[in-house]
Structures are given as C-alpha cells and as structure tokens.
Structure 1
Amino acid sequence: MPAMPNPLSRYKIELERTGYEQLDVYRYPDHDEVRVKTPNGEVLLVKLPTHRESMSIEEFKEHVVKAAKKKEKEK
C-alpha cells in the first residue's frame, strides 16, 4: 500500500501551480509564516492570518500571492 501524502503538501502543490514555490513553513502558536520563492526568483516571508490547515487551499493561495505581490511592489 503506497504511503499517504501529507495533507499539507496539497497547499504546497497548489501554490506551485501559481508560479510561487513554498520553501519553508514556520509554525507559531496562532499562525504560520511561509517562505516563498516568487516567479522572478525573490524569496519572501509571508505571514498568514492563521495556520494553513485552518484556511481553504484557495484562501491560502490568494493570501500568499496577494501578500507576495504587495511586498514585491514595496521594493
């Protein structure tokens, strides 16, 4: 029987479909922070409002992409 993939890996896979690569996830008591690589190669840290598993995959993707684009514009 093949091993079951980690349910949180779905977030990583879906994010990669947007052109962003999830590098690391830092867990805190009330939220997660995701280190992502943008399509142009920049590495950014994005703070989520809660833990990934408390968000739908669509909410997660939208939040990460929106925050990453905002941080890219600030530079």
Structure 2
Amino acid sequence: MGTKSTRYKESLEKLGFKQIDIYRLKERDVVRLMRKSDGKVYLVDLSRHIEEMSLEEFLEHVTNKVR
C-alpha cells in the first residue's frame, strides 16, 4: 500500500482529476486540481491541512467544492 499522499492522488484520479500541486498555508491547504475531461483547473480550499483529514473527508470536501 502506498503512502497517504499517493492514496489521495490515486483517489482523485478515479474521480477524473489530476492533482497539480498543494499550496501549504499556515492553517490550511489549497489543492490545485485539473479535470481530465476538459482541462479545467480548480482551486479547492481545504479547511485544514491535508494530513489532518481522512481520505473520505478529503474526497467529500473536494467533490463538494468542484461539482
């Protein structure tokens, strides 16, 4: 099984997104994603740092922000 960050990226791939990068802010992270189908780029502002979130919580947060 891969690292936590690898599992997050793989889960995003299954949803049709590519993780471009993560902006690390003092109290939260912002994830930049690209939708594979049309190349549209999204900035997803997380409520806290990604390593403080479970995979399910992260995916729920992402899907709520981009759809």
| Structure-2-length-normalised TM-score | 0.84
Shift of 1:6: 4.0
Structure 1 unmatched ranges of 5 or more:
70-75
Q: Please give the alpha-carbon distance, in whole angstroms, between the structure 2 residues aligned to 1:68 and 1:7.
A: 22
| Structure-1-length-normalised TM-score | 0.76
Shift of 1:7: 2.6
Shift of 1:56: 0.7
Equivalent position SS for 1:35: strand
User: Quick check: which one's strand share is greater?
Assistant: 2
Structure 1 stretches (4+) deviating beyond 2 angstroms? none
Q: Please give the alpha-carbon distance, in whole angstroms, between the structure 2 residues aligned to 1:31 and 1:50.
A: 4
Structure 2 unmatched ranges of 5 or more:
none
- The structure whose Rg is larger is 1
> How many positions carry a matched residue from both structures?
66
1:28-66 deviation digits (Å, cap 9, x = unpaired): 111000000124320011100001111111111111121
